[in-house]
C-alpha cells in the first residue's frame, strides 16, 4: 500500500570508489519500498550503476570530487592537502548546486554520503559517514585537530548517520568510535548492497578477485594480481570494478573475467567463492561480513583509513591482510589455509538503519 504523502528524497553518495554508492543501495531500496520518490545524484558511472540496480529510478548529474592517489603511495594527508583547494571548491560548488536545485526541483529530505556541501537550511539534511576520526598517519595530535575541523562540517547537517554499531564487536574500530561524538551523531548499524543469505551457501572453491577504489592504485593492483594468477589452479572470478581501464585479452581458461557487476549479479558469485581478494574499503568489508566470507584485504597504499581497517581486522583475526607492494599471491594463499577467520555474526545490525529512517520520516511527515 502506498503512503498518502510520498516524500521527494535526494540521495547523493561520494564518488570515492564504488563503495559509497553501493552502501546507499539498501537505503534507496528501503525508501522506495515505503513508496517515496527517490532521486540519486552522482557522476556518470554512479548514475549508470544505480540505474542498472534500480531500473526506472530518477538520477541527476552531480560532479564528483575525483580524488586521486599517486603511484608512490604517500600518506593520506599529503595527497589530500595537495588537492585540498580543489576539494573545498567542489564542496562550495555542490552547496550552490543544491541551493539552485531546490528552487526548480525541490526535495523534502537530503541524504548525503560524505558529500559535505549538500546541506540546506530549509530542509532536513543528513550526512552519512563511518569515519568520524580521520586517520592522518601523523599521530594523535594531528588526528584530534582534524577531528575538530571535521565536526564543524558535520554539524552543518541536521543528523550525522554513523555507519557502524555503537558497541562491540564492530567493524570500524576507532574510526567511528572516538571518545567524543558529534552532537548530531546517530549510529545506524551496517549497510550492505547484498542481502544476507537465508542459509550459508556451499562454496564452489573459486577465488574471487574483487577490485575497487581510486586510480591509479586500482590499476596497479589489478596488473599485479593478473600477473600472478597462475598461483591458483582452481576457478577464478576476476572483477575489475570499473568500466574503464584496459581490456584483458589474455584470459586463461580457468578465469571468468568481468569489468563490473551490479550487486544483484555479484551476490551469488560472492556467496559461492571460497576466498575473496579485495581492498579493505569499508563497504566491501560490510559485504564480506554480511555473507560471512573469508578474505584477504589489500589496502590502497597511502589511504590510511583502509590501512587502519585492514590492520584492525587482521589483529582480531577476522580477515587476513597484506600490503600491495611486494605482494606474493602464492604465499598469501598458503597463509590463508590455516588462518582462523573469526568473522563476527552481525546480521541483525544490517536492519538497524530502517529504524533510524522510520524515526526521521515520522518527524518529517
* pLDDT (average), residues 106-125: 96
Q: Are residues 257 and 152 part of one domain?
A: no
Residue 1 lies in a domain: no
* Count of other CB atoms within 10 angstroms of residue 268: 12
Residue of 65, 68, 114 lying closest to 86 (CA atoms): 65
Q: Are residues 79 and 68 part of one domain?
A: yes
| Three-state DSSP state, 137 | coil
Q: Are residues 359 and 338 part of one domain?
A: no
Question: Residue 198: CB partners within 8 Å, gap ≥ 6?
Answer: none
Q: Which three cell numbers stand for residue 249?
A: 585479452
Q: Are residues 109 and 82 part of one domain?
A: yes
Q: Are residues 85 and 17 part of one domain?
A: yes
Q: Are residues 172 and 310 part of one domain?
A: no
CB crowding 328-338: b at 16 or more within 10 Å, else e:
ebeebbeebee
Tell me the pLDDT band of 2, cut-offs 50, 70 and 90: low
Q: Are residues 302 and 252 part of one domain?
A: yes
Q: Are residues 118 and 229 part of one domain?
A: no
pTM of the predicted protein model: 0.92
Residue 2 lies in a domain: no
Q: What is the dihedral of CA 237, 267, 301, 222, to 10 degrees?
A: 20
pLDDT score, position 70? 56
Q: Are residues 119 and 21 part of one domain?
A: yes
pLDDT at residue 292 above 60?
yes
Q: Are residues 23 and 49 part of one domain?
A: yes
Q: Are residues 232 and 162 part of one domain?
A: no
Residue 132 lies in a domain: yes
Q: How many CA atoms does the CB half-sphere of 362 hold within 13 Å?
A: 6
Q: Are residues 36 and 49 part of one domain?
A: yes
Cα torsion 165, 197, 20, 71: sign:
positive
Residue 293 lies in a domain: yes
Residue-number span of the structural domain to which 215 is assigned: 207-345
pLDDT at residue 68 above 80?
no
Q: How far apart are CA 328 and CA 315, in angstroms?
A: 20
- The total domain count for the chain is 2
Q: Domain containing 109 — which CATH number?
A: 3.40.50.2000
pLDDT at residue 69 above 60?
no
Amino acid at each position: 500500500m502506498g503512503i498518502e504523502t510520498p516524500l521527494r528524497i535526494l540521495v547523493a553518495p561520494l564518488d570515492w570508489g564504488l563503495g559509497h554508492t553501493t552502501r546507499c543501495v539498501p537505503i534507496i531500496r528501503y525508501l522506495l519500498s515505503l513508496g517515496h520518490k527517490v532521486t540519486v545524484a552522482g557522476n556518470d558511472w554512479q548514475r549508470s550503476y544505480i540505474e542498472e540496480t534500480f531500473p526506472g529510478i530518477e538520477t541527476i548529474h552531480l560532479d564528483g570530487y575525483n580524488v586521486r592517489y599517486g603511484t608512490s603511495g604517500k600518506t593520506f594527508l599529503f595527497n589530500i592537502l595537495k588537492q585540498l583547494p580543489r576539494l573545498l571548491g567542489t564542496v562550495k560548488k555542490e552547496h550552490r548546486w543544491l541551493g539552485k536545485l531546490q528552487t526548480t526541483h525541490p526535495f523534502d529530505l537530503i541524504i548525503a554520503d560524505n558529500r559535505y556541501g549538500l546541506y540546506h537550511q530549509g530542509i532536513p539534511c543528513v550526512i552519512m559517514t563511518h569515519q568520524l576520526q580521520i586517520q592522518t598517519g601523523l599521530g594523535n595530535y594531528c588526528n584530534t585537530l582534524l577531528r575538530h575541523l571535521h565536526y564543524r562540517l558535520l554539524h552543518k547537517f541536521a543528523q550525522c548517520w554513523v555507519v557502524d554499531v555503537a558497541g562491540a564487536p564492530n567493524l570500524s574500530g576507532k574510526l567511528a568510535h572516538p571518545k567524543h561524538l558529534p552532537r548530531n551523531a546517530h549510529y545506524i548499524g551496517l549497510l550492505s548492497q547484498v542481502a544476507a543469505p537465508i542459509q550459508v551457501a556451499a562454496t564452489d572453491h573459486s577465488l574471487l578477485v574483487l577490485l575497487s577504489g581510486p586510480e591509479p592504485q586500482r590499476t596497479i593492483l589489478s596488473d599485479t594480481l593478473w600477473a600472478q594468477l597462475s598461483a591458483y589452479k582452481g576457478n577464478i572470478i576476476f572483477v575489475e570494478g570499473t568500466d574503464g581501464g584496459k581490456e584483458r585479452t589474455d584470459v586463461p581458461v580457468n578465469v571468468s573475467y568481468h569489468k563490473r557487476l551490479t550487486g544483484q549479479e555479484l551476490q551469488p558469485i560472492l556467496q559461492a567463492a571460497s576466498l575473496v581478494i579485495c581492498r579493505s574499503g569499508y563497504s566491501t568489508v560490510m559485504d564480506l561480513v554480511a555473507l560471512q566470507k573469508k578474505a584477504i584485504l589489500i589496502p590502497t597504499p597511502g589511504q590510511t583509513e583502509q590501512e587502519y581497517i585492514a590492520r584492525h581486522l587482521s589483529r582480531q583475526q577476522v580477515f587476513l591482510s597484506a600490503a600491495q607492494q611486494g605482494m606474493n599471491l602464492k604465499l598469501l594463499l598458503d597463509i590463508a589455509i590455516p588462518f582462523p577467520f573469526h568473522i563476527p555474526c552481525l546480521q541483525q545490525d544490517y536492519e538497524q538503519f530502517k529504524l533510524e529512517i522510520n524515526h526521521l520520516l515520522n518527524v518529517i511527515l
